[in-house]
Amino acid sequence: MMSKKMLNLTLCFTVVFVATVTVHAAVPCCTRVVSGSGQTYRLEYSTVTEPVELTGYKKVVETQYEEEEVTTYQTVWETQQRERRYTVARTVPETSVKERRYTVNRPVEETEYRDTSYHVTRLVPETTEREERYLVSKQVYETQEREVLETRRVPVQETTIQERSYTVNRPVTTYVEQTVDRGGYVDSVNVKPGKTYSRLAWHRAEYYDPATGTNRWRLPGFYWTEMEGAPRYEVNKVYQPNYVTQTVPVTNTVQEQRIEQVPVTRTTFREEQIVRTEQVQIPKTVQEEVVRKIPTTTYKQVVEKVEQKTPVTVRRMVAEEHVEKVPVTTYKTVTEERVEPYEVKVAKVVPVTRTVRKPVTVEKWVPYTYTIERKRTVENRIPIETVTSTSRLLPVGTETPVSAPPEEKNDPAENVPTIK
């Protein structure tokens, strides 16, 4: 049922698009029409957009869960007590005493005094004075008078009127139609199948058809079985365009030339000479002799002897004999038997029955409403010239049956459905 509806909708869009292309090819964009009263008109066509609501169907996938009993076998461990007998070799120590003789060198210290006198050299300062003569340059200033001739420039201002030409940018606004995309992002659901894995499952005795296609008897027990996990649903953002035609104002600037009269002030300079007397100081260098006394320090060496006696310790070795009793330990191995208890874990297989919820995927069709924009062309009659003064003008936007205007303009890029 859904495929027939989608096919009919596709055929309708195709027929409308072909009819629109045919009408556009037959009707000229601009035609002159003369009425019975002698008035000449120019035909212009404008496009009007009308919204149209349509109903479609989309597939929705839902997951339902069914309960099913599954029997599995669980391993249970039990603890048992047992004894282990083993033989241990133990070492028993025995101690005895032996004599050991050895010689030890003992140090003996004796103190002696030695003469370690030394000489010390000491510096003794002596201060004297000496004279030093040198020349110093001294600067002396002398005052003199002289005449100075100066030339000055006196400013003189003159005002005149001049014409100035400049350009002014005047804004001019026009309106342009353009198509804007007002689309947005819509949620898109993708279903991914669950992961396939293998696990041990209990199978009853039954006839079994493997990949070879032969029938044979299979013993009951655990077998590796391929199983599939639950499917995963991912929601992605998909961009859905929505093209809208709108009128946008465009502002351009037009240049205009303007002339104005501006007063201009011009400054000229007139030269004047002035004589004045000024005093000038002239530097002069004079040399003078200066005498100064400089103290001088000299050092004289004096040698002195310092008496000193240093004690010195002399060490010599004296041999002594010692007797020492040393304990000696010997070890003997003794064997004995021991009993050790230990635990053993025994595994048993126990059947366990549980209820499992199995996911089942169900598909269904859900109706939804979307809007498309259908365009229609309207004919406007604009008068070109008036033959008589009594001719009657038709208002702009009046439809006329003189020529068959195109009924629709269906652009596949503009008629994009919008889902509510």
Q: Could you tell me if 251 and 171 are in contact, meaning their C-beta atoms sit under 8 angstroms apart?
A: yes
Mean pLDDT (whole number) for 63-89: 86
- Note whether 57 and 419 are within 8 A (CB): no
107-134 burial: b if 16+ Cβ within 10 Å, else e: eeeeeeeeeeeeeeeeeeeeeeeeeeee
Band the pLDDT of 418: cuts 50, 70, 90: very low
Q: Is the pTM of this model over 0.75?
A: no
Span 2-61, pLDDT tens digits? 455 555 555 555 544 444 433 333 344 455 666 566 678 788 888 888 888 888 888 888
Q: 310-330, pLDDT tens digit by residue? A: 888 888 888 888 888 888 888
How big is the CA angle at 16 (ends 15 and 17), to the nearest 5 degrees? Answer: 90
pLDDT of 390 reads: 37
Q: Report the pLDDT value the prediction gives residue 394, as an integer from 0 to 100.
A: 40
Closest CA relative to residue 58, chosen from 416, 370, 415: 370
Residue appearing with tokens 């007063």: 263
| Cβ proximity of 243 and 413 under 8 Å | yes
pLDDT in tens, 266-283: 888 888 888 888 888 888
Give the span between the Cα atoms of 226 and 201, in whole angstroms: 10
pLDDT for 90-115, tens place per residue? Answer: 888 888 888 888 888 888 888 888 88
H or E segment to which residue 12 belongs: helix 2-26
Would you state the pLDDT for residue 11? 56
